[in-house]
Amino acid sequence: MIATPDGYAVMGIVNVTPDSFSDGGFWLDAGAAIRHGLELESDGAVILDVGGESTRPGAQPVPADEELARVLPVIEGLRSAGARAQISIDTSKASVAAAALDAGATLVNDVTALRGDPEMVDVVAQSRADCCLMHMLGEPRTMQNDPHYEEVVSDVKAFLQDRMAFAVDRGVAEERILLDPGIGFGKTLEHNLELIRRLGEVVALGRPVVIGTSRKSFLGKITGSPVEDRLAATIATNVLAYERGARVFRVHDAGPVRDALAIAAATVPRPWATTTPTSSTMSTT
């Protein structure tokens, strides 16, 4: 993961899909997606997360060949255009991840935490790529069907700890792992708020925590705002997450979130910033 002086990274979302909940179809054309990625980088994103399969609630699976046709031209185009941001591939398919890594990606963002494809862990381990392990209850088609936990924060933390142990046991270097509690992925409004409120308990696992609240429906339930008017709510949740120790912020609107985090970084103590980075997850590329 690319580091910044203030110990956080903005991850810009590049959805190359026709059906993502917020911007589906906007960047389906490879040229438009490449331009969008470069704009996100210009606005402060140091990671570009390229995805060719929507993971919104109710989303249908996409065949690997179609997903590859969507994402590979974008990754290759970003690299050819001189993008300096780290490129992340948002996929749960090993074949897509392997091809994306060959094309220039260096981070695998797997919403299934290496459960969706049994070959994914080997692809990550052998490539020595960074990887993000996310918590999700069920799968996108079913995850919002009455999600239930014994205790949401403890359950999510235990899951992430278990998946990290699995990855390390299969050869993934622990210092290359990022963790994502999966806001909105099989969670009610109350679950999401409790995870943000007690995010420090996930941070205590010792790996950089990714937070992804951008424009999500739980924000609309609180504010009454439609998806296109949730920037202020997105910023609020990201600043709160920063204060609680999150270090990577996956967003649609890189510039405003970067500015808000810059103000937060100037005022909030950052105990993690005193630790000298020792791995690729906090190095520049």
Within a domain: 186: yes
What pLDDT, on a 0 to 100 scale, did the predictor assign at position 281? 46
Residue 70's identity, in one-letter code, is R
pLDDT at 285: 37
Output the pLDDT for position 7.
80
Does residue 276 or residue 135 have the better pLDDT?
135
List 163, 215, 250, 258, catalytic entry: 250
Asked if the model's pLDDT at residue 276 lies above 50, the reply is: no
Distance of CA 100 to the CA centre of its chain: 16
The number of CA neighbours under 13 Å toward the Cβ of 98 is: 13
In the structure encoding, which two tokens stand for residue 254, read together?
Answer: 């890189």
Q: What value does the mean pLDDT take over residues 72-81?
A: 97
Instruction: Please indicate, yes or no, if residue 268 is contained in any of the structural domains.
Output: yes
d(CA 276, CA 272): 9
Structurally, the chain folds into a number of domains equal to 1
Is the pTM higher than 0.85? The answer reads yes
26 vs 75: which has the higher pLDDT = 75
In angstroms, rounded to a whole number, what is the distance separating the alpha carbons of residues 111 and 183? Answer: 11
Span 134-172, pLDDT tens digits? 999 877 666 667 778 999 999 999 999 999 999 999 999
pLDDT tens, residue by residue, 108-134:
999 999 999 999 999 999 999 999 999
Choice among 207, 216, 244, 247 that is catalytic: 216
Domain that holds residue 175: 9-282
Q: Which residues of 25-55 are buried (b: 16+ CB within 10 A; e: fewer)?
A: ebbbebeebbebbbebbebbbbbbbbbbbbb
Residue-wise pLDDT for 163-205, tens only, equals 999 999 999 999 999 999 999 999 999 999 999 999 999 999 9
Supply the DSSP string of 45-83, one letter for each residue. -SEEEEESS--STTPPP--HHHHHHHHHHHHHHHHHTT-
Render pLDDT for 15-49 as a digit per residue (tens, 0 to 9).
998 755 454 456 568 999 999 999 999 999 999 99
φ/ψ (deg, to 5) at 127 = -80, -15
Residue 208: closest CA among 284, 270, 132, 269: 132
Closest CA to 33 of 61, 69, 60: 69
CA distance 112 to 59: 14
Residue 225 lies in a domain: yes
Residue 155 is assigned to a structural domain of this protein: yes
Amino acid letter for position 39: E
Quickly count helices (H) and strands (E) in the chain: 10, 8
Q: Please state the rounded mean pLDDT for residues 64-75.
A: 96
Q: Report the candidate in 202, 183, 182, 203 with the shortest Cα–Cα distance to residue 192.
A: 183
pLDDT (0 to 100) of residue 19: 52
Domain containing residue 207: CATH number:
3.20.20.20
Helix (H, G, I), strand (E, B) or coil at 102: helix
Closest CA to 131 of 156, 168, 162: 168
Distance, in Å, from the CA atom of 248 to the CA atom of 246, rounded to the nearest integer, reads 6
* pLDDT value of residue 29: 87
| 1 in any annotated domain | no
Instruction: Assess contact for 138 and 187: CB atoms under 8 A.
Output: no
Q: How far is Cα 103 from Cα 79, in angstroms, rounded to an integer?
A: 8
Give pLDDT, residue 36. Answer: 96
Evaluate whether residue 2 is within a structural domain.
no
Q: Is 47 in contact with 86 (CB distance < 8 Å)?
A: yes
Q: Would residue 274 count as lying in a domain?
A: yes
**Number of residues that make up the chain:** 285
Residue-wise pLDDT tens digits, 208-264: 999 999 999 999 999 999 999 999 999 999 999 999 999 999 999 999 999 999 999
Residue 13 resides in a domain:
yes
Tokens of 238: 């990201």
Q: Confirm if 137 and 143 have CB atoms less than 8 A apart.
A: yes
Among this protein's residues, is 250 annotated catalytic?
Answer: yes
Neighbours of 214 (CB within 10 A): 27
